[in-house]
Amino acid sequence: MTWRTTDRRFKCCVVFATAVFTYACSAPPDPRRTNFEIKGKDTTAKYDPKTGRLKRIDTDLNKNGRMETFSYWDGARVLRIEIDKDEDGKIDRWEHYNDQNKVDRVGSSSKDDEVEDTWTYPDERGFLARVDSDTDRDGTVDKREIFVPRDGAPDGRVLSIVELGLDKAGKPARRLHYRPDGSFEKSEVLR
């Protein structure tokens, strides 16, 4: 997934996070009385039997009778939200959260086979900042795209740098630079 220019924001995460946080923070029935699972109409919440802490919420967000959104929790902290957007039984979006319950990165699968190989990072304002890819799917990110604000459009983003051949330490073999208008500027060979 590559955007040369984009206005994309991470709005959907915010909407969903608000919905599940509202759920997580409202006082559920005592989970010890419900075998550590509480079923609602569109939501099932599961609790750790040992600690009683919230572990997971399954949600039918679009209310069509099928759960497609699965969030993983440690008490009031959301760790990860997995979403099967097209409801084909395979997860296609992984939202990873930091310790402030904010989106750190969003994972996706380029082959739609439930293997995360692309991660999109927002900046502090929620705009696209970076895309990391594991193009050969060996478990190590090998490509990085960096986006910057577009000239004259503070809410727009444009691709600025592409790093290729990243090693395990994250050092690139090549770096491509793009001008603010999106045109190619130069290529550096780094090793």
Sign of CA dihedral 10, 13, 143, 111: negative
Please, what is the minimum distance in Å from the beta carbon of residue 146 to Ca ion?
Answer: 18
Least separation in angstroms between residue 140's CB and Ca ion is: 4
The residues of the shown chain that bind Ca ion, judged by CB under 5 A, are 60, 62, 64, 66, 68, 84, 86, 88, 90, 92, 134, 136, 138, 140, 142
CB of 156 to Ca ion, least distance (A): 30
Q: Of 50, 59, 48, 52, which Cα lies nearest the Cα of 21?
A: 59
Least distance (Å) between residue 64 CB and Ca ion: 4
| CA pair distance 191, 189, nearest whole angstrom | 6
Rounded Cα distance, 125 and 122, in Å: 7
Q: Which lies closer to Ca ion via its Cβ, residue 29 or residue 139?
A: 139
Residue nearest to Ca ion as judged by C-beta position: 142
Q: In a 3-state reduction of DSSP, which class is residue 22?
A: helix
Nearer of residues 5 and 110 to Ca ion, judged by Cβ:
110
CA distance 29 to 33: 8
Nearer Cβ to Ca ion, position 74 or 138? 138
The neighbour count for residue 128, using CB atoms within 10 Å, is: 24
Q: Which is nearer to Ca ion, 101 or 135 (CB)?
A: 135
CA distances for 21 relative to 5, 17, 76, 130, 167, angstroms: 32, 6, 8, 26, 38
Exposed / middle / buried, residue 79 (Cβ in 10 Å: 0-12, 13-18, 19+): middle
CB of 112 to Ca ion, least distance (A): 7
Q: Which is nearer to Ca ion, 35 or 140 (CB)?
A: 140
